[in-house]
Amino acid sequence: DVKVTQSSRYLVKRTGEKVFLECVQDMDHENMFWYRQDPGLGLRLIYFSYDVKMKEKGDIPEGYSVSREKKERFSLILESASTNQTSMYLCASSSATGWGTEAFFGQGTRLTVV
Amino acid sequence: AQTVTQSQPEMSVQEAETVTLSCTYDTSESNYYLFWYKQPPSRQMILVIRQEAYKQQNATENRFSVNFQKAAKSFSLKISDSQLGDTAMYFCAFMKHPTGGYNKLIFGAGTRLAVHP
């Protein structure tokens, strides 16, 4: 059974804290993504990675950074958490062979910044 | 830039009935993929159905089918014989042919579907 696992389902952090969201996939996928999900806005792409140590900005990268040191792990970093980063964060992975391939998602991390 | 619009924030249907969720998109591309993803209350997003723009035949997956109208840029999802387990948030998504070596999904805002007994 294919799996994308996010380290936490719920997280509460204080304003100004450095926050790490971890994601691990076991499908040997090249592509990994971080999305942010907000009501009425759908999913918006923050960052993605198509290879180890490679990353590209998505549509809303401000205030975030990412790290991919190993193929199976993709971390999202909030350098200094702010209340407007309170949201649901979804990690996904997909194969780079061909296109139109299915993206597999983690169960999401609901982050609250107080 | 591509956009995906889901004009129905919420819908409800009785068990065993049929419901159609709407999706329109805007693109100048000629070849692309369209997807419907389902996010149940457990939050695990799963693929429901996928359609390649060059294929004229509408995709079907058991009780789920699409009505793909390329000229109208419309991609609706029909759920037949609705079941309580179909209660979920449904997202329409667009993927253009990659030029930068990656497959980027653009999502609509979602439609929350409630199936009632």
Which pLDDT score is estimated for B24?
97
Q: What does the pLDDT look like over B94-113, one tens digit per residue?
A: 988 766 556 678 999 999 99
Which pLDDT tens digit goes with each residue over A17-33?
999 999 999 999 999 99
pLDDT recorded at residue B102? 63
Q: Does B41 touch chain A (CB under 8 A)?
A: no
pLDDT at B55: 87
Using CB atoms, pick whichever of B101, B102, B109 lies closest to residue A42.
B109
Per-residue pLDDT tens over the stretch B27-85 = 988 889 999 999 998 888 999 999 999 888 999 999 999 999 999 999 999 999 999 99
pLDDT of residue A19: 97
> d(Cα A45, Cα A59) in Å, to the nearest integer?
5
- Which pLDDT does position B99 carry in this prediction? 61
pLDDT at B94: 93
Which chain A residue has the Cα nearest residue B42? A107
Residue A9 in this model has a pLDDT that exceeds 90: yes
Name chain B contacts of A58, Cβ cutoff 8 Å: 104
Residues from chain A that touch B97, judged by Cβ atoms under 8 A, are 99
Query: Which of B6, B10, B105 should one mutate to test binding to chain A, selecting the residue with the greatest count of A CBs within 10 A?
Result: B105
pLDDT of residue B29: 86
Per-residue pLDDT reduced to its tens digit, A38-78: 999 999 999 999 889 899 999 999 999 999 999 999 999 99
- Transcribe B65-85 into DSSP letters: EEEEETTTTEEEEEE-S--GG
Q: How far is CA A48 from CA A32, A34, B12, B39, in A?
A: 6, 6, 35, 21
The residue among A4, A102, A110, A111 with the most chain B CBs within 10 A of its CB, best to mutate, is A102
Please state, in angstroms and rounded to a whole number, the distance separating the CA atoms of residues A16 and A75: 18
pLDDT of residue B47: 95
Residue B48 to residue A111: CA distance in whole angstroms: 27
Phi and psi dihedrals of B84, rounded to 5? -55, -35
CA distance B10 to B12: 7
Residue B1, pLDDT score: 74
Confidence class of residue A6 from pLDDT cuts 50, 70 and 90? very high
